[in-house]
Structure 1
Amino acid sequence: MRFEQLDVWKRASRLSCEIYKATETVQNWGFKDQITRSGLSVPSNIAEGEERETNKEKVRFLYYAKGSLGELVTQLYIGIEIGYLEKHSSLEMVKEAKELAKVLGTMIKKKESKIKEEPAVYQTK
């Protein structure tokens, strides 16, 4: 399956677009850059991982995506608190980010269980 067909990639891509729209009027370039990078990192790492050859490599990039979701949730909360982001829509994005993290966690577990089944030639130390 291509990454473009994955529901988690589609949802993460939509979330990234929402973040860009929500921060359109933010004047603090550092905050805006950081939160949009976190959001963009999620679907990007899902895609990069799915293009890798082994499950071990795929898992590594899924962990990166999951980590970026943690960053994003933190930045959304801070953006709300300091008045950069509208509360209701940002809390909806937090909810979506947390749901995506759960989906990625499930994907990671499934792929990790398959790592043990891969031929030794694909396993790296």
Structure 2
Amino acid sequence: MDNEKTFRRLMIWQKSMGLVIKIYELTKKFSKSEQYGLTSQINRSAVSIPSNIAEGFGRKGTNDYLRFLNISLSSLFELQTQLEIAFNLNFINENKFDRIYEDTREIERMLTS
């Protein structure tokens, strides 16, 4: 079982899953009035990243896998934009923004390498 080929063994998937947890913990503190707005969008973007990595891993052929990695990258860019909006609206302080943004940049570097 240890040698089983699975998306769970991919470092990019593991880091993306860790980011999802951080994002949910962060948005839990957002205003309740944002629950169906920015909070929902941020959470969906974050979840989309490891989900597409996993889906691409399950596809046959490198081209399909690369296409899903590209979709993950697009979701990551969407997340970065939404985090910037939340920061500009003072939903996130600078320290938290910087830490989570750096996490997104690390995943971005992994997706583009």
Compute the TM-score of the two structures, normalised by the length of structure 2: 0.89
> What runs of 5+ residues in structure 1 fail to find an aligned partner?
107-125
Q: Which residue matches 1:15?
A: 19
Q: What aligned pairs does 1:1-125 form with structure 2 within 5 A after superposition?
A: 1-26=5-30, 27=32, 28-29=34-35, 30-106=37-113
Paired with 1:85 and 1:104, the residues of 2 have a C-alpha distance of 25
Paired with 2:21 and 2:98, the residues of 1 have a C-alpha distance of 16
- Percent identity between matched residues is 32
Deviation string, structure 1 residues 23-62 (Cα, Å, up to 9, x no partner) = 1022212100000001010000000000101111101100
Letter in 2 for 1:87: E
Q: Which residue matches 1:114?
A: none
Letter in 2 for 1:85: I
Paired with 2:76 and 2:111, the residues of 1 have a C-alpha distance of 10
Query: Higher Cα Rg: structure 1 or 2?
Result: 1
Compute the TM-score of the two structures, normalised by the length of structure 1: 0.81
Paired with 1:86 and 1:49, the residues of 2 have a C-alpha distance of 34
Aligned CA RMSD, in angstroms, stands at 0.9
Paired with 1:103 and 1:25, the residues of 2 have a C-alpha distance of 29
Number of aligned positions between the proteins: 106
Which stretch shifts more, 32-41 or 87-96? 87-96
Which stretch shifts more, 48-57 or 80-89? 80-89
